[in-house]
Amino acid sequence: MAEDDLLKKWLNNELSDAEMVAFSKREDYAINKNIIEKALHFKASEFSKVKDFESFKQTYQNRSQVRSIQWFKPLLRIASVVVIALAVYFTWFMNDGLIEKQTLYAETKTIELPDLSSVTLNADSKIFYNEESWQDARKLNLVGEAYFKVAKGTTFDVITDNGTVTVVGTEFNVKSRDKYFEVICYEGIVRVVSDTITRQLKAGNTYRILNNSFSEAKSTDIAPQWLDQRSRFKAVPLGEVISELERQYNVKVSVKTTDSERLFTGGFSHDNLENALSAITQPMNLKFEISSSNQVLIHGNKD
């Protein structure tokens, strides 16, 4: 007789004496008997039906599979403890003293550092540094754009994905965006390193890497224009200008029927969106449409 048939007859209490003796000698008899005995402790609902044999068989098979992996559970518990311990360690010890400051779209913010140096963040920018080790190593990481006034002392490093700026005591601006890295020195001397290009900048010198192309220029400004709520550009692709507009006004701009790589020289104010769009589009013979509070379309003339 097939084992499943024997089990089915046992569940239905239909085994003969000889079959019962044979069934009780099976390896799984104790397990089956234990399942049934435990089930007797539960009171069935009036609407419940006794499980058919196929349902019982599936439960039995699942129980067997669970038994086969019981030995692995202690290892899982140990692994969980290790993961939690590592997370706590890196959160409380590796990041001890880590300070992070950032700005949102259409926001600027000035932060005072532990040595009384100051950093003014442009829109959508971020710095982070270790306050505990600041006196031993004045260094911070920058994502975005910031203007620095560095108090005299040991060397001061600004680390970005595009390069590192090193100074002692000076004033300078660093812009580090996706494909745009620019450093302008306003006072003192700044050392800039990006890949294989190293320069010492004096007041009025500009260091720029735009779309993997390096250039140097002069500036007569005494501070960045964006501190006075104005962005200014010299031979910068239209796409970069529009990205800055999006950051300053917290808008989404779509460009159609025009080349985003066209070079733009000029600027726009941060206090009026329509005026800013006019300042960008008119010199390039473009049109703009504002469809909602945060959606703008820029396109070429249709005539």
Nearest to 132 by CA among 172, 81, 96, 78: 96
- Predicted pLDDT at 145: 98
Q: Are 295 and 251 in contact (CB under 8 A)?
A: yes
Q: Are 167 and 156 in contact (CB under 8 A)?
A: yes
End-to-end CA distance of the chain: 91
- Predicted pLDDT at 43: 43
Using DSSP's 3-state secondary structure scheme, residue 78 falls into helix
pTM (2 d.p.) = 0.68
CA distance 267 to 276: 8
CA distance 251 to 67: 59
Record the tokens describing residue 291, joined without a space. 């469809």
Q: Are 135 and 158 in contact (CB under 8 A)?
A: no
CATH of region 229-300? 3.55.50.30
Torsion angles phi and psi, residue 86, rounded to 5: -65, -40
Return the H-helix or E-strand segment holding 75. helix 73-89
- Predicted pLDDT at 93: 46
CA gyration radius, the chain = 35
CA distance 277 to 291: 13
Parse the chain into domains and list their residue ranges: 3-68, 98-226, 229-300
- Predicted pLDDT at 197: 96
Task: Kindly give the confidence (pLDDT) of every residue in the chain, 303 residues in length, as a single tens digit, with 9 standing for 90 and above.
Answer: 456 676 677 667 777 767 777 767 676 767 666 666 555 544 444 444 444 555 555 655 655 554 544 545 555 555 555 555 555 444 444 556 899 999 999 999 999 999 999 999 999 999 999 999 999 999 999 999 999 999 999 999 999 999 999 998 999 999 999 999 999 999 999 999 999 999 999 999 999 999 999 999 999 999 999 999 999 999 999 999 999 999 999 999 999 989 999 999 999 999 999 999 999 999 999 999 998 778 999 998 754
CATH T-level fold of 98-226: Jelly Rolls (2.60.120)
Torsion angles phi and psi, residue 229, rounded to 5: 60, 45
Burial class of residue 249 in the structure, from the number of CB atoms within 10 Å of its CB (0-12 exposed, 13-18 middle, 19+ buried): buried
Record the tokens describing residue 233, joined without a space. 């550009």
Torsion angles phi and psi, residue 23, rounded to 5: -65, -40
Torsion angles phi and psi, residue 214, rounded to 5: -90, 140
